[in-house]
Structure 1
Amino acid sequence: MKKKICKLSAVVLLFFSGTMEIGWRFFNMVVCCKREGRKKERKKWFELSHIRDNHPRNGYAKEYEESRAWCEAQKMQDCYIRSVDGLKLHGFYLSAENAKRFVILSHGYRGSRFGSLSFMAKYLHEHQCNLLFMEQRCCGESEGKYITFGAKEKWDVQRWAIYVSERNKEKLPIYLYGQSMGASAVLMASGYWLPSEVKGLIADCGFQSMERQMQDMADNWFHLHYIPLLLKEMDCLCHFVAGFRMKDADTTEAMKRNTRPVLFVHGEKDTYVYPNNSFQNYMLCKAPKELVIVPGARHLCSAYADPELYQRTVMGFFEKYDGSNSEK
């Protein structure tokens, strides 16, 4: 009897030890953002076919590199703010001649200020938009150790909106434009106070919640179809190590409270953040809204796949709401 109990205890201990090891590795892979030392491990664990296939370099390398090089060549002003939790965050400001509006650009997960956003940034600048390129916490020159999937990035978006508003002497309309996780952060920020000059939001391929995105990744990338224990472990590690809860990275309540117009865009063939996320956000949104699904487009590729549709839709959105009254 004692031997059976010992064997059972050993099996249970082994199971929980293995589960904790998987949870810790998943947390390290997804949330931790150590710039040095983790690069090799992150590549081993995370550079999967879904990421390679969805990146604009796959099929649009010329357009991607040319627009990125254009951004790198511009003379931009360094900007800095302090986050609500004390991090020094960095951004770049690029003014436009005879500007009609400001656009704050919020890049995606582990992205860069001059990555996939560059393609539209060049177009927007050529069409009289002042640009503020955010560098998300723990990306580029911004401080930080953890990616919080919008839980804290939403407050960073709010701070950048205030920063621009305080320097917007002509009271030009301001728009928040995000891609992927940057889009989700913008949507989450919209549920809280923003300067009145913020007239609208553009959310390109944003997810609905961190929990849902973790489930989709586990299910479709790693074929782990039932992961409640892993999610609980992730939530505990996020809480006690990174200082946030997964429930804080969710657009639901913000979409119910937001009063500003939202343009949702998503690629039909996106297998990184599935299009159903934008459908869900669109359905939850109580403000004026528009949803555009770009045929054949993958993650972050909608502007490349059909630039005419994308650019026309964005400019139409600006023209419609530039003169609107937006109070929150």
Structure 2
Amino acid sequence: MKKTTKNWIATVSAVILAILIAVITYGSFYLVDYALTSKPQSHKKNWGKAFAWYPELRPWLDSIRAERAWSDTFAIMPDGTRAHAVLIRSTEANGRTAVVVHGYTNNSIDMLHIARIYNKEMHYNIVLPDLHGHGLTGGNDIQMGWKDRIDVLKWIEMAPKTFGISADSMRIVVHGISMGAATTMCVSGEKTPKYVRCFVEDCGYTSAWDEFKHELHGRYSLPAFPLLYTASWLTKAKYGWSFKEASPLKQVAKCTKPMLFIHGDKDTFVPTWMVYPLYEAKPHPKKLWIAPGSGHAFAYRDHRKEYIKKVEEFVNQFNTPLYCRTSE
């Protein structure tokens, strides 16, 4: 009788364990597919949203097209992917260039309001890349800013030739929002050319791990263990990177170039608290602006004049020829 009971308990335990393993495995594949599989995109549907939210884009874009300052370009990235970027030229740039990086499931069109600041207000050339798996760039997976840093570094490397400017005359700022901000911070921790002068990150997360943990709890009321661990392992096996490896927090700690941090104090998607450890980890020079009342990625929409002023003052401080000479 005791042997039969033990056998029954062992069988039930094995069945429960098998079910748990199956559920965790299914959940891991679902999470990775849901979060990291890119969907087919075009630029067309983004135009309507851009004009509805930012009507100031229309007259600026009309002038850009009249001057034939807009062009599309494609390049092969280090992993062999064919990547797309929008280029906008300014006859008054004199080497000043902004690389403007979009967020999760967005594309270059979604960043035109930021491009306008640099091009119209500050007379910069613009590079608006579509990240891996977004817009017109190839790839079926989203890289959460981590491997994207390699592609953005490639666009930066190509910038002098792209605009027909010598590297000695080039001065670049990298500005990203949300996942684009995470990408910007990941770029900042790498060795960048001398002509990369400063960075602006707007509502970026501390790490892919922290962001997915926040979403897992917020959307599904689930803890990080075990699903986030197994999903991260699966991502490592499938795409070559893990959630903890994708860490803007670790990258900004290595950055010695100036960075402006922006975050809305009502951000619940990338919660506001994330900006504080990022800011603390970053060595000087740096500056922090918390946009009052703004949710995720809405600091510009809510505070247009102040946003432009904050960005212009910060970038001009560190992207002038005088600063460039004294900092090298």
Normalised to the residue count of structure 1, the TM-score between the two structures is 0.86
Task: Find the aligned partners of 1:71 and 1:142 in 2 and give their Cα distance.
Answer: 22
Task: Find the aligned partners of 1:34 and 1:309 in 2 and give their Cα distance.
Answer: 35
Equivalent positions of 1:215-230 (< 5 A) are 215-224=213-222, 226-230=223-227
State percent identity of aligned pairs: 22
Q: 1:277: which partner in 2?
A: 274
Deviations 1:36-88 (A, max 9, x none): 8xxxxxxxxxxxxxxxxxxxx6xx97333663796598452222222221111
Cα displacement (A) at 1:160: 1.0
Task: Find the aligned partners of 1:69 and 1:136 in 2 and give their Cα distance.
Answer: 27
Q: 1:289: which partner in 2?
A: 286
Cα displacement (A) at 1:263: 0.4
Q: How many residues align?
A: 305
Task: Find the aligned partners of 2:261 and 2:106 in 1 and give their Cα distance.
Answer: 20
Q: 2:52: which partner in 1?
A: 62
Task: Find the aligned partners of 1:66 and 1:25 in 2 and give their Cα distance.
Answer: 40
Equivalent positions of 1:197-276 (< 5 A) are 197-224=195-222, 226-276=223-273
Deviations 1:67-112 (A, max 9, x none): 3796598452222222221111110100023125200010001111
Q: 2:44: which partner in 1?
A: none
Matched, 1:143 2:133: no
Matched, 1:99 2:93: yes
Q: 2:46: which partner in 1?
A: none
Task: Find the aligned partners of 1:69 and 1:248 in 2 and give their Cα distance.
Answer: 43
Task: Find the aligned partners of 2:51 and 2:219 in 1 and give their Cα distance.
Answer: 24
Q: 2:297: which partner in 1?
A: 300
CA contact (8 A) 1:71 1:118 kept: no
Cα displacement (A) at 1:282: 0.5
User: Equivalent residue of 2:159, what SS?
Assistant: helix
Cα displacement (A) at 1:155: 0.7
Matched, 1:319 2:309: no
Matched, 1:156 2:151: yes
CA contact (8 A) 2:90 2:119 kept: yes
Task: Find the aligned partners of 1:258 and 1:243 in 2 and give their Cα distance.
Answer: 24
Name the aligned partner's letter for residue 85 of structure 2: G
The ranges of structure 1 where at least 4 consecutive aligned residues each deviate by more than 4 angstroms after the TM superposition are 68-73
Cα displacement (A) at 1:259: 1.1
- Bigger drift between 259-268 and 77-86 goes to 77-86
Name the aligned partner's letter for residue 307 of structure 2: Y
CA contact (8 A) 1:256 1:285 kept: yes
Task: Find the aligned partners of 1:105 and 1:168 in 2 and give their Cα distance.
Answer: 19
Q: 1:89: which partner in 2?
A: 83
Q: 1:172: which partner in 2?
A: 170
Structure-2 change in CA distance of 1:262 and 1:152 (3 Å): same
CA contact (8 A) 2:186 2:251 kept: yes
Question: Structure 1: which 5+ runs fail to align?
Answer: 37-56
Cα displacement (A) at 1:234: 1.2
Q: 2:40: which partner in 1?
A: 35
Task: Find the aligned partners of 1:247 and 1:314 in 2 and give their Cα distance.
Answer: 30
Name the aligned partner's letter for residue 325 of structure 1: C
Question: Structure 2: which 5+ runs fail to align?
Answer: 1-5, 42-48
CA contact (8 A) 1:106 1:182 kept: yes
Higher relative contact order (CA 8 A, sep 6+): 1
